[in-house]
Amino acid sequence: MVEKSIICPKCGSSNTIKHGYQRTKDDKKQRYKCLKCGRIFLLTSDTIFHSRKISKSKLNLMIKMMINETKLQTIIDVLNISSKTAYLWRMKIYKSCEVVAKSVYLREKVWIDEILVPVNKSQLIMKTEHLKYRGVSRNQIVVAVGIDVKGNIYAKVVGRGHITKKQVMDSYGKHIEPKSILIHDGIFSHDTLVNELCLESYVYKAIVKSNRRYMQPINSLCAQIKRILLIHIGMKSEHLQDYLNWIVFRSTLKQDDIDDKVNELVDICFQYGVNFRQKDLK
C-alpha cells in the first residue's frame, strides 16, 4: 500500500511503501522504499538523526545540559558517549537552531550594533612582507547584532571588514519591523535601513561616555556574545553562525517553558535536513 504521507528524502516523491525494518540492538525501525527513484530510507534519513549514536532521550538531556552551560567533558561522562560523538552532536544541534534564529523579528524599540570577530590564522590575508592589515579589515568577520525592548535578539554573520549598506539591509532589514524606534551608533550604512523601513532614529556615538547608558541593552548583548565566543576559542570561522544561532535560541527560553522549547528543538532536528560529519571538523 502506498504511504502518501511519507516523502522520499532524495526525490521528494510521496509514492513510497513500507519496506521491512532496520533492526538495532535496542529496537527496530520502519524502512520505506520510493517507487519513483528506488531510494530505501528511514524517517530519520537526511536529518541530523541519521546514523545517530545517541537516543532521543539522551539528546533531550544533552540539550538541557548545554542550556545550563555544562562543560562538554561532563556531558560525555553523564551520557557515556565518546568525545567525537558529543562534539558532532553539539554542532548538529547548533545548526538546527538556524530555524529559530531565522524567525526572529525585532519591533517597537530596537538597538543594533556590529561585533568584529578575528578570522582563523589559516584565513588571514597578509600584506607584502608578511605584515598584517590593521584596523577594520578583511581579517575581521562582521556580525550584525540586534535586540528589542522585549528582549528578542538577533545575530547574523554579514561578511568581512566594514559593513556595507547592502549588508545592513540584507541582515537587519529582514528582521526589524518598519516604523520602529532604532537606537544605534550612527554609522553611515545604517542610514539606508532608517530610510527604507521608515524608522525613528536615535544616534548615540560610542566615543561619548555619557551615551553609554542609552546603548546599554546592545552593549550588554555584544559583551555576552563575546564572552560565549571566547569560551569556544579556536572554533572554525565558518561555524561562527552556528554558535550565534545557539545563542539566539537560548535567549528565547523562559524558566516555565524550557521543556517545551527543548522538545520543539528536538522536533526541528527531525524535520531539518542538516548534516554535520566528522570531516567537517577538519
Q: Which of 96, 94, 61 is nearest to 76 (CA)?
A: 61
- Interval 210-250: pLDDT, tens: 888 888 999 998 888 888 877 766 667 778 888 898 888 88
- Interval 129-154: pLDDT, tens: 565 555 556 678 888 999 999 989 99
HSE, CB side, 13 Å, CA atoms: give it for residue 87: 13
pTM over 0.85: no
Is 28 or 262 the better-scoring residue by pLDDT? 262
Distance CA 206, CA 185 (A): 6
Residue 56 three-state SS? helix
CATH 3.30.420.10 segments of the chain: 103-244
CATH 2.20.25 segments of the chain: 1-46
As its CATH architecture, domain 1-46 has: Single Sheet (2.20)
Stated length of the chain: 282
H-helix or E-strand spanning residue 224: helix 216-231
DSSP line for 134-173:
-SS-TTEEEEEEEEETT--EEEEEEEESSPPHHHHHHHGG
The CATH class of 103-244 is alpha beta
Is 262 or 277 the better-scoring residue by pLDDT? 262
